[in-house]
A and B are shown apart, each in its own frame.
Chain A
Amino acid sequence: MLASLRASVLSLARDKALLVWTLAFPIIMTLIFMGMFSGIQDAYTTVGSTLGVVRDKNYSAAMGLDETIQAISDPTSSDHICNVTYYESAADAEAAANATEVDAYLTVDAEGAPQLHVTNASLSENGTLPTSVLAEILDTYQHTRAAAEKVAATRPELLATGEAIGAFTESAVQTVRLTATKNPPSPDARYYYALLAMAAGMGATAAMVSVRRLLPTAGPLGARQALAAVPRWRMLVGALLGAWLCEFACLLVAALFMWGVAGVSFGNDASGVVVALAASSLMACAAGTLCGTVTRMETSMISGITCLLSLFTGLYGTASQQLADTIETSVPALAHANPLWQTTNSFYALLYYDTPDAFLESVAALLIMTLVFLALASFRLRRTSYDHL
C-alpha cells in the first residue's frame, strides 16, 4: 500500500497536467479575478455607503426606529452597515440623493412605516448601498414594532421603563445579522469559492490517472503491477490516498494564496476551511477512482463535467449565479446533488453562518458522495476482476 502510495505521489507531483489544473489554474484565475474585482472592492471601501434619514416628527414617533438606525450606523459596531446623514425634510434628503451625496434615504409616513427611497441617480452612479440588507432590517423593524405595539396595547407598563424598547431593537438587529450575514457581505467570495470547487473537481483526474495505472485492462503497466505480491485493493487504496494527498496539498496552497494574496475571506475558522478542502478533494478523488474504472473515460471528460457543474456554482458571472440561485430555490435537491455546489456551500457556511449546521451538512454530503463513488468503483472493479488483457 505504501509502495503504491509513494509511486502515486511521486508521479503525480511530477505530472504537469495535474499541477496545472489543481494549483496553477486556481492561482492564475485568482489573479485574474483580483483584477476584475478591484473596482468593486474599491467602491465598497472608499465611497462607503451613506443613508439619508429624514428626522421629522414621524421619525421621532416611530418607536425603536432611531435605535435601530443608530445600531447599524455605529462605525465601531460589528453591525455597522452604512453611514447616516440626517435631514430635516424629505425635500432636502431628495436633493442630497440627486446630488449623490447619499445613496438612498429613509422617510417615515404618518402611520409610522419606514420607506426606503433609492434614486436612479445613486443607483447608476454606484449602487453600493447594501439595500437588500437595509430592506430586511426595515422589514424586521416593522415586525418588531408590530409586536411592540401589541405589547403596548395589552401591557403598557412594560414599555414605560424603556428597557423593553431596547430589547426589541436589539433583537431586531440580531435577527438581521443572523438572517443576513455574519461577516460583511463579500460579492467576490462566491467566485473564489466556486473556483476552488472547480479546481477540486479537476483534481479528480489525479485519482483517475493513479488508479487507472493499476488496472491490467488499461495497459501493460497495469498488467505488470497486477503481478505484485500485494492484494490489488491495497494498491488501489494506496493510489487513492496518494492522489488525495496531492490534490489536498494543491488546494490548500491555492486557498492560502487566495487568502494571503487576494485577501479572500474564509471566515474565522481556519480548521473548518481545511476540513472543507479535505472533504472536497476526497470526494473528487473518489469520483476520479470511479472514472478510472471506466476504460473509455478520458481526462478531458472529467474537465468537461467539472466545467458543466461549475455553471451551477455561479463561477461564470452573474447570469450563472442567477441560474444557480434559481435552481437552488426551485429544485434544491438538484442543486444539493452537485458535489461542486456542496464544496462551494461548505465555504459559504463557514463565512456566513454562526452555527456549524450548514457547514457540517455540506461536509457530510461530500463524505456520503465519496462513499457512493467508492462503492460504485469497487463494484465495477469486482466485475472486471481478472480476465482483462
Chain B
Amino acid sequence: MASNEAVVRIRNLVKRYGELVAVDHLSLDIAPGEVFGLLGPNGSGKTTTINCILQLLSYDHGEIELFGQPMRPTSYQLKRRIGVVPQEVAVFDELTVRENVDSFCALYVRDRARRRELVDAAIDFVGLQKFEDFRPKKLSGGLLRRLNIACGIAHRPELIIMDEPTVAVDPQSRESILSGIERLNAEGTTVIYTSHYMEEVERLCSRIMIMDHGRSVASGTADELKGMIGTGEKVSVEVGEMDEATLERVRSLPHVRSAEVDAGMLRVQCASGAHNLADVLGVLAENGLSYGRVLSEPPTLNDVFLEITGRALRDEA
C-alpha cells in the first residue's frame, strides 16, 4: 500500500431513508495510520455512514473507495482488510467466548494454526482470558462489549471501524481498550472511531469530524476544532463573598460571556481572547477583593461539540 494513498475516500455520499436524508453529501479522506474520530449527536448519521462504507446499505449517490479501490458488496479482498466493531453487540449466543472469536476470525482466516494465535491475541487484547469458556449470556454488559471488540479485530485488519465500542464498559476496561487501540495504531492500523465520550476522542483521535444532520459541520485536529469556536477558557476564582457591583464589572469585561458566584466560587466563561485571566484578576484586585485558588481551563472538545451542534436536545430523530 502506497503510504500516501487514502485508506478511506468518500465523495458526496448521499443516503436517504424515504424523506429523511441520513447522510447528506458527505466527503472525507482518511490517511493510513490515522485514528479518525467521527462525532455527532444521536441520529446524525454516523452509523449510517459506516454501514455505507461497509456496503451493508446501498446509497443513493456518491463514491466510496477503500485502499484505493472502489468498495462493492462483493469486494471480498477489501473486506478481508477491514475489521468492524458494530454499535450493537453481535455474537453467537450458543458459542463460548473463544468459539465466537474463532468463528468471526474464520470468516477471514482459513489456516487453523494461524487462527489459534490470532484468537489468543484477541482474547488477551480485551482481557477475557478468564472467560474463554463462558457463553455470552453469562457475561456482564461490559465483558460482552469487550467480546464484541475481540470478534472484530481478531483477524488483524488494516482498517478497524469501531462504532461506540466503550459504551457500558467500566473505567479499568475502558483504559485497557483505549491503550489497546493506541497499540494497534502504533503498529500501523488505521482506525475510525465513533463515541459520545469526548475525552476518549480527544485522547485517541488524530483527526476529528463532527457530523450533524448527515453533514460534516467541522473537521480537524482537536486543537484546530477548539480554535474554530468562539469559546475561550473557563476561569474559576475562590472569592468567598462578592458584591453585585464587582460582579457586574467582571461581566462587562470585553471577552466575558457570563459570570456568576456559586458557593464562594466566581465562575467566568470567556470568549477566546489573549489575557482573560489577567483581566478578571485585575478587576478583583481593583475592588480590593482577596482571592484563594485560581483555576483556568481551556475549552474542551465537549465545549466545541456543544457549540457546533447546539445545546438543544436531539430527539427529533
User: With an 8 A cutoff between CB atoms, is B4 at the interface?
Assistant: no
Determine which of A14, A213, A220 lies in contact with B89 in the assembled complex, contact meaning CB atoms within 8 Å: A220
Residue of B nearest to A216 (CB): B56
Given A226-B56, A386-B58, verify A219-B76 contact (CB < 8 Å).
Answer: no
Count contacts between A and B, CB distance < 8 Å: 74
Residue of A nearest to B73 (CB): A386
User: With an 8 A cutoff between CB atoms, is A389 at the interface?
Assistant: yes
In the complex, identify which listed stretch (A4-12, A141-149, A262-270, A285-293) lies at the interface while the others stay far away: A4-12
Given A3-B106, A216-B56, verify A221-B76 contact (CB < 8 Å).
Answer: no
Residues on B with beta carbons closer than 8 Å to the beta carbon of A227: 54, 56, 79, 82, 84, 107
Which chain B residues (50-98) contact chain A, with CB distance < 8 Å?
51, 54-58, 73-74, 76-77, 79-80, 82, 84, 86, 88-95
Please list the 4 inter-chain residue pairs (A to B) with the smallest Cβ-Cβ separation, ordered nearest first: A3-B106, A228-B107, A11-B94, A220-B90
Residues of B within 8 A of A (CB): 51, 54-58, 73-74, 76-77, 79-80, 82, 84, 86, 88-95, 99, 103-104, 106-108, 151
Determine which of B90, B92, B108 lies in contact with A228 in the assembled complex, contact meaning CB atoms within 8 Å: B108
User: With an 8 A cutoff between CB atoms, is A225 at the interface?
Assistant: yes
Q: What are 23 A-B pairs with beta-carbon distances under 8 A?
A: A3-B106, A6-B106, A7-B95, A7-B106, A10-B95, A11-B93, A11-B95, A14-B95, A216-B56, A220-B86, A223-B90, A224-B90, A224-B151, A228-B76, A228-B108, A229-B76, A229-B107, A229-B108, A231-B74, A386-B55, A386-B58, A388-B56, A389-B56
Cα(A389)–Cα(B50), bound, Å? 12
- Contact, CB under 8 Å: B107 / A3: yes
Cα(A12)–Cα(B92), bound, Å? 11
User: With an 8 A cutoff between CB atoms, is A230 at the interface?
Assistant: yes
A304 shortest CB reach to chain B, Å: 24
B42 shortest CB reach to chain A, Å: 17
Residues on A with beta carbons closer than 8 Å to the beta carbon of B55: 386
User: With an 8 A cutoff between CB atoms, is A15 at the interface?
Assistant: yes
- Contact, CB under 8 Å: B92 / A220: no
Given A11-B92, A231-B76, verify A387-B58 contact (CB < 8 Å).
Answer: yes
Given A3-B103, A224-B84, verify A14-B56 contact (CB < 8 Å).
Answer: no
Given A10-B94, A221-B92, A224-B90, verify A389-B51 contact (CB < 8 Å).
Answer: yes
Cα(A14)–Cα(B93), bound, Å? 10
Residues on A with beta carbons closer than 8 Å to the beta carbon of B104: 224
Cα(A7)–Cα(B104), bound, Å? 9
Given A10-B99, A216-B56, A229-B76, verify A221-B91 contact (CB < 8 Å).
Answer: yes
Given A216-B56, A229-B108, verify A7-B103 contact (CB < 8 Å).
Answer: yes
- Contact, CB under 8 Å: A7 / B88: no
Which chain A residues (196-253) contact chain B, with CB distance < 8 Å?
213, 216, 219-221, 223-231
Residues on B with beta carbons closer than 8 Å to the beta carbon of A225: 107
Interface size on A, residues (CB 8 A): 28
Cα(A228)–Cα(B75), bound, Å? 10
Cα(A14)–Cα(B136), bound, Å? 13
Determine which of B73, B86, B89, B107 lies in contact with A223 in the assembled complex, contact meaning CB atoms within 8 Å: B86
Residues on A with beta carbons closer than 8 Å to the beta carbon of B84: 224, 227
- Contact, CB under 8 Å: B95 / A223: no
- Contact, CB under 8 Å: A230 / B107: yes
Cα(A11)–Cα(B96), bound, Å? 10
- Contact, CB under 8 Å: A7 / B92: yes
Determine which of A11, A229, A385 lies in contact with B77 in the assembled complex, contact meaning CB atoms within 8 Å: A229
Residues on A with beta carbons closer than 8 Å to the beta carbon of B107: 3, 225, 227-230
Residues on A with beta carbons closer than 8 Å to the beta carbon of B79: 227-229
Which chain A residues (274-320) contact chain B, with CB distance < 8 Å?
none
Cα(A385)–Cα(B56), bound, Å? 10
Cα(A203)–Cα(B244), bound, Å? 80
A1 shortest CB reach to chain B, Å: 10
Per-residue CB contact flags for chain A residues 122-148 toward chain B (1 = under 8 Å, else 0) read: 000000000000000000000000000
Cα(A220)–Cα(B90), bound, Å? 5
Which chain A residues (375-389) contact chain B, with CB distance < 8 Å?
385-389
Residues on A with beta carbons closer than 8 Å to the beta carbon of B56: 216, 223, 226-227, 386, 388-389
A300 shortest CB reach to chain B, Å: 19
Cα(A178)–Cα(B88), bound, Å? 64
Residues on B with beta carbons closer than 8 Å to the beta carbon of A7: 92, 95, 99, 103, 106
Residue of A nearest to B57 (CB): A389
Cα(A385)–Cα(B57), bound, Å? 10
Cα(A16)–Cα(B104), bound, Å? 23
Given A219-B90, A227-B84, verify A6-B103 contact (CB < 8 Å).
Answer: yes
